[in-house]
Amino acid sequence: MVDRGEPKASNVHPIMLAGEPSHGTGSTLDIISPIDGSVAATVGTAGPEQIRRAVQAAVRVQRDWRAIAVEDRSNVLRRLARLLDRDRDRLAAIVTDEVGKPISQAMGEVDGAIAYAELFAGIASTQGGEVLPGSGPGRETWIRREPRGVIGAIIPWNFPLALTLRKLSPAVASGNAVILKPAEQSPLSALAVAELAREAGLPDGLLSVLPGNGSTVGESLVKHPDIAFVTMTGSTRAGQAIMHNAADRIIPVSLELGGKAPFIVFDDADLDQAVEAAVATRMMNNGQACVCNERTFVQRSIHREFVDRYVKRTKELILGDPRDSGTDVGPKVSEAELEKVEGLVDEAVLQGATVELGGRRPEGEEFEKGFWYEPTVLTNVPADSRVMREEIFGPVTPIVAFDGEAEAVAMSNDTEYGLSSYLYTSDMNRVMRMIDALESGEVFVNRPGPEENTGFHAGWGKSGIGGDDGLHGYELYSRRKTVYMSWDVSK
C-alpha cells in the first residue's frame, strides 16, 4: 500500500460513502500486488469529513432500519448471500489480487462470507428478549434486546471478504448501521461487498466503507461521539490503541487480536493425521491467520519422526502464483511482512536454531518480484527467541520436543496470547485434563482449524476481549433494556 496523497485519473476506485460512490478526500491509496509488487489498483481515501458525513447518515437511517421487522432485515442478508454466490469467481479473484491468497483458498473465503450472511439471517429470526416472573401478581420483568446504533468495524487484510461479512451480518441483522474501515492493503473486498449490499436492498446510508490510514480513519472512527460500539480484528498493538480511545468515551469494544497457538502432539496420536493437520493449520493463507499453528510441540519419543514427516509433507506444497488452482502457498502480503518473517528466522538461527527446510526467499525468475518466502521448518529453537514469543504470521514452523504432559502445558501457556490451541492424542482422560489446563479461548482436539461460525471465536490475554461468531457473537451487537411491568389483576 502506498499513499500517493494527490488526486488521480478517473480509474481511481471510489469509496462507499453513505451508500454512494465517492472519491473521498482526493488522496489515493495504491494497492500493491503481493505477486509482483506492481500497482494492482488505486483507491480513494476517507478523512474526518467523510467520517462525519457517513456517521451522520448512519444515525438517520438506522432509526428506520431498527424499526422494520426482523425478518425483513434477515431477508436482505439472504439476498446478499445469493449475490455473493453469484459473484464468487470475481470476489475470489479480488481476494487473491489483494492478499496473494491461493485462489482455492480465496474461493473458500467466499464460501465463508456466504455462510456468515446466512447464519446471522437465521439467528436474527429466532432470537428475542426474555420474560421473567415478577415479585407478585400482575408483575413481570421484560429484558429487551435493542440495537446499539452505529457500529464502527475495523477489518484486517488477511481475510478481507469473510471478516467484512463476519462484522456486517450480525450488526445489520440486529438493527444497527455500520461504518467499516478496511485494511489499507485490501479495501477492494469490502467495497465489493458494499456494492452487493446495495443491490440486496440494504438502505443507502446504513453501510459506509471508508479506506484510509489507520491512524486517521480508524482513530477518528473510534473517537466519534455517535459510534456506539467498536468491533475490530487485527494486531494487539492496534487493539490497545482502540481500547484506550474507547475508554475515554466509555463505549464497549470487541477485539480479536493476535495469537501464538500451540499445536501439541502426544506419542499416542494418529501421526499421519497430526502431521497433515499441523501442516494445513500452519500454511493456510501462508501462515497469515491468527489461529495458525505458531508453535509445534511434539513428545520427545516421536519428535524426530514427526519432524521428518512434517518436512516431507511441506516439501510437497506448491509455492507459486496464487492465481493458479494448483498453488498451495502464495506470497506474503507486503514487503514489510516479508521482512518481519525473514528477521525472525534469521535471528533464531543466530541463536542456535536448526533450519530443517527453507529459511530464505525462494530462487527463480517467478520469485524475483513480489514478496515470497519459502515454507520453513526450524528445530532446536531457543524458548526465548522472538520466533517463539512473537506472532510469526508467515510460513515458518518451529518444532520443539517435550517430555510429559506438565511440560507441554507449561510450554503452551508460556505466552501473552490465548486465542487457539491444538491437541492430538488418543487418550480421552488426557484430553479433558489438557482442556482444563490450556489457557486459550478455543481448543481444537484431533482436528485442524479454522474455527466454525456457529461457535464463539474469542481470545484470552492479549488475544483480545469480546469475540465473534454464533449466538454469543450476535449478542454483542445489542444492548439490554429491562422493563418492570405491572398491571391491574382485579378487573
Q: Which residues are catalytic?
A: 256, 290
Write the burial class of residue 277 (CB in 10 Å: 0-12 exposed, 13-18 middle, 19+ buried): buried
Question: SS3 for 27?
Answer: coil
Report whether 371 contacts 335 (CB < 8 A).
yes
Residues 483-487: contacts with CB within 8 Å, 24+ apart? Answer: 483/141, 483/142, 483/143, 483/144, 484/134, 484/139, 484/141, 485/134, 485/139, 485/140, 485/141, 485/142, 486/134, 486/138, 486/139, 487/138
d(CA 419, CA 302) in angstroms, rounded, equals 26
Write the burial class of residue 437 (CB in 10 Å: 0-12 exposed, 13-18 middle, 19+ buried): middle
Pairing of strands 207-209, 227-233: unpaired
> What DSSP designation does 216 have?
I
Phi/psi of residue 383, each to 5°?
-65, -25
Pairing of strands 28-32, 460-461: unpaired
Amino acid found at 191? L
